[in-house]
Amino acid sequence: MAIVKRKFDVVIVGAGGAGMRAALQLSEAGFNVAVLSKVFPTRSHTVAAQGGIAASLGNVTEDNWHWHMYDTVKGSDYLGDQDAIEFMCRQASEVVYELEHFGMPFDRLENGKIYQRPFGGQSQNFGGAQATRSCAAADRTGHALLHTLYQRNVHANTQFFVEWMGLDLIRNEQGDVTGVTALEMETGNVVALQARAVLLATGGGGRVFQASTNAFINTGDGLGMAARSGVPLEDMEFWQFHPTGVYGAGVLISEAVRGEGGYLLNKDGERFMERYAPNAKDLASRDVVSRALTMEIKEGRGCGNNADHLLLKLNHLDADVINKRLPGIREIAIKFAQVDPIDEPIPVIPTAHYMMGGIPTNLYGQVVAPYKTGPEEVVQGLYAVGECACLSVHGANRLGTNSLLDIIVFGRAAGKQIIEDLKKNPHHKKLNEAAIDRSLTRLDRLDNQKDGENVAQVGEALRKTMQEHCGVFRFPDLLKEGVVKINEISERVEHTEIKDKSKVFNTARVEALELNNLVEVALATMVSAEARNESRGAHAREDFPKRDDDKWLKHTLYFSEGRRLDYKPVRLKPLTVESFPPKARTY
């Protein structure tokens, strides 16, 4: 079947912080860039980031990138690749200043410099006193950042394809990526976009869990596209559960609350984090704090009638601090928890928040996969940045405010790398018709399905299974059973039916296509988690409570075809400094 084809130098799928930072680099260099986004760019999930962006500016306490690097390596529970982490931390100050020059409305200190606040896992002098490293615009840093990047892209005349959904990668016989298929939501048209470079910047897939801080759009689309085209997914067992989602609503309450002096309480009014992390207390790493909350609930010290949540207290803070530094949090607490945090603590519970794993890349955003020469072999024409990518700078656990840094540093780096690679590849490669047909077949199947199952129902089964079988603590029996269940659900996904057959803005069709992506994310997560017989970072196994560096200091690679696993070494060698060897991790 013939479909419309269009040609660009670069196609970027996703217009969050990562996609738009890369787009800016490319548009300003004069390339013909198409940025596809399921939502208007400023509605991308970067907008929901609250607390800040990490950079060792040293505006409040003495700081340097090497300390930041140490904290990130330790936070990653030594699974992070140290070359990528050094790269990120070294560039942090430069990219933050650049954002400021773009017009980003950071809060300010009395001396006119960018305001910084303490966050979890940040230390001075390699594990010493608390550092103050998160550059913030109140508790709306993501909003300020995303709008600023959109504004710069308006200035650069970037071409946005708003409300277009990427469907599949188009790869040729050599495995090179030569374009993508995409759905224009308003018309229902499917178009093949040919490009010399395709950058996936589609964000996370947190909607695989029932209780999630993530937006509805976070359905792992780039991961589904990659997995279906034969690209592996890396470290998918590592999911961050944020310690403080609003109880019952899932909406995020920023770690900035604890950075500004808030703390957690159990039903006895005890500041329990002192027991779990005597030094860092409430500002320990997120994996540590989330496990602590879960233990408190499990041991009967939860709050409320069902003893199923904890309290986040900030009413001892000055009302001015709350209104000035945490106005969005106050708004969320009033709306979603019906408490005004100036007067009362906020009921919270660990909630799925961030995907450390993703599409494997090197530090230039080039996607890498084992093919002939080893696991770091570049997939020609394909790039990935942001939450959908796995460099890995976050390893087994991400530090707060390193995610905004990640998207800016590597969005920019990928943009620069694409410019270099385009010089070497002046011509478009032919589009493989068979690859295009795969998207069309998938849509035909969906449109013609009779007596199939409701998409929402299958989606609910998937989310419930992930929530029950792959949470903060993981149990061998539940994981084994989870693998079976998710495999069954993946069969059901092949037979979903939509009643809505309209061509015009068919959101039922979009949700069905999203489920194709969610199920890849869920499969990768469950299979990878079941296999990793150790506890590291956010992956906490009841039966293997310790980290096992002899056997497991390695990255997981999950291949959708055959649902098989492979592993690759962690890049322990930084670019210029000495490696940080794994050691016991305490806070």
Residues found near another protein in the complex (CB under 8 A): 39-40, 42-45, 47-48, 57, 96-98, 100-103, 105-114, 137, 140, 143-144, 147, 151-152, 154-155, 186, 215-217, 248-249, 251-252, 328, 331-332, 335-336, 454-457, 498-500, 502-508, 511
Whole-number minimum distance, CB 459 to another protein, in Å?
9
Instruction: Write down the least CB distance from residue 359 to another protein, Å.
Output: 22
Structure token pair of residue 218: 């976070």
Q: Which residues contact 17 (CB under 8 A, 6 or more apart)?
A: 44, 46, 142, 145, 146, 149, 386, 404, 407, 408, 411
CB nearer to another protein: give 163 or 376: 163
Q: Is 275 left (phi over 0), alpha (psi -120 to 50) or beta?
A: alpha
Query: CB-wise, 457 or 533, nearer to another protein?
Result: 457
CB-count burial class (<10 Å; 0-12, 13-18, 19+) for 163:
middle
Least Cβ distance, residue 329 to another protein (angstroms): 11
- Least Å from the CB of residue 206 to another protein: 12
What is the nearest approach in angstroms of another protein to the Cβ of residue 456? Answer: 4
- Decide whether 105 or 230 has the Cβ nearer to another protein: 105
Identify residue 427 by its one-letter amino acid code: H
- Of 318 and 542, the one with the shorter C-beta distance to another protein is 318
Q: Minimal distance in Å, beta carbon 116 to another protein?
A: 11
Cα(165)–Cα(221) distance, integer angstroms: 9
Q: Is 38 or 469 the residue whose CB approaches another protein more closely?
A: 38
Task: Judge residue 258's burial from the number of C-beta atoms within 10 Å of its C-beta, 0-12 exposed, 13-18 middle, 19 or more buried.
Answer: buried
Nearest Cα neighbor of 232 from 489, 561, 571 is 561
How distant is the alpha carbon of residue 252 from its chain centre? 14
Closer to another protein by CB, 163 or 481: give it. 163
Find where tokens 């409570």 sit. 545
Nearer to another protein, 188 or 230 (CB): 188
286: annotated active-site residue: yes
Phi/psi of residue 505, each to 5°?
A: 35, 60
Q: Are 138 and 328 in contact (CB under 8 A)?
A: yes
Q: How far apart are CA 534 and CA 519, in angstroms?
A: 25
Torsion of the alpha carbons at 504, 509, 511 and 512, rounded to the nearest 10: 180
Residue 338 Cβ vs another protein, minimum distance, rounded to whole Å: 9
Query: How many CB atoms are located within 10 Å of the residue 452 CB?
Result: 17
Query: Please, how many CA atoms are within 13 Å of residue 581, restricted to the half-sphere of its CB?
Result: 1
Q: From the candidates 21, 171, 228, 286, give the one annotated as an active-site residue.
A: 286
Residue 181, classified by CB atoms within 10 Å of its CB into exposed (0-12), middle (13-18) or buried (19+), is buried
Q: Which residues are catalytic?
A: 286
